[in-house]
Amino acid sequence: MKLRSADNRPARGELLELEVESLAHGGRGVARVHGYVVFVEGAVPGDIAMVRITRAKSSYAEGRAEEILNPSGRRTEPRCRHFGHCGGCAWQTLDYEEQLRYKQQQLVDCLEHIGGLAGFEVDPAAGARPLWRYRNKVEFAFAGAGDDLALGFHPPGRWQEVVDIEDCLLHSELTNRLRLLVRESAAASGLPAYDQQQQRGFWRHLVLREGLNTGEVMVNVVTAPGEERPMRDLARAIAARFPKVRSLVWSINDTPAAVAGGLPYRVMAGRDHIFEEIEGIRLKVFPATFLQTNTATAARLYRLALEYARPCEDWFALDLYAGTGSIALLLARHCRRVLGIELVEEAVAAAAENAEANGIENTAFIAGKVRQVLGELPPKEQPQLVVLDPPRAGAGKKEIERLASLAPRRIVYVSCNAATMAGNARLLVEGGYRLERTVAVDMFPHTLHVESVSLFERG
């Protein structure tokens, strides 16, 4: 194809017929023009598409598919009516088995290219079931006022706009109906949504949490400072129609920051928590509690972590970044003793309560920074097994070095970010470990996100 740009590269605004070869790590299609890479939004491998170039740089270009001329055999019809508008579930057009294949390849690529590792075993990717209605937590934003009040998601890159959602296929039909009631009640209040630019208004966010195995629901409404009346009206409306709502809490965000979590809250109805059960462990869930968002796949993730760990009944084990103790409590069934370390004090208190409620006596939980607590372990408290599940940024270099210096026999790394895990894996190998096995776990079907479980052995 002859290009109009003088340097044989496409220019911004050009319309090109391209065949998409593969997927990049960000989820976009990859096409080439005379060896020059074009990242394509809205296309899957095998598609032949008319692509409008939106950005052109010296080494690559970006574009969007304006028309699919010849669809790939791996392309599927999107199921959600909001597809292409809300910005979520971008891989709905890609066959699910292909989604799994690319997620597994993403994990392997990160370990090889970022971690510089080779010779490890790759287990078959653990797919999700179900593929829809799997989220136990979802966050929505308000916009507008009155009859035009919207409650939905921000489209990509446009944080001042909200796509009003009628039915999100990621969470249950029950919580979808509940969201519609909240929108109806907020519109009837006569109060507008908070405007980020003008920094005025009332309604800000709605966070719904559901115990998918217990049926309990939490409603967390986030507003700017204001009167209590609309919240009392909402509480009455919910109580009349949704008896499964066990917790309605009101959080006030008096800052310009568009955040919905980690805020003080007030209980408007019911209690300040709900319960969920995973693998026979009953867990107390507060508004700020971290819990894996896909309950069914979380159970599979934990089973894989235990399979990799192969714990012994006389072992002392550590659970780092323990949250409310789900992994530690499962490990306790197989170990002599488990110590959980977690920075958030509320999570530590909940973990201790969860242990007591489940009759598990061989666990303890400490609030503090992982690096500091690891450095204070007495010589007799050297672990044989460590499981860590850090946030997306991964563990810090000093934390990994301190962990390796404890020389546990086995380390199981649960990750939600393959790139940061791969960097940590390189540090573990430098500290005397070898990567034995890894597996991709699909916690979020139809998105580019991938979880993983990896096993490191000493020596």
Active site residues: 416
- Where do the DSSP E strands lie in 296-362? 316-320, 337-342
| Structure tokens belonging to residue 260 | 């919905």
DSSP state of 124: P
CA distance 338 to 335: 7
Q: How many CB atoms lie within 10 A of CB 280?
A: 10
For β-strands 433-441 and 121-122, DSSP reports them as parallel
Beta bridge pairs of residue 61: 38, 56
Tell me how long the chain is: 459
| Structure tokens belonging to residue 381 | 């408290």
| CA 315 to chain centroid | 31
Residues 6+ apart with CB under 8 A from 11: 3, 4, 5, 53, 56
Q: Is 134 helix (H, G, I), strand (E, B) or coil?
A: coil
- CA angle at 443 for the pair 206 and 332, rounded to the nearest 5°: 100
Helix (H) or strand (E) holding 108, with range, is helix 96-109
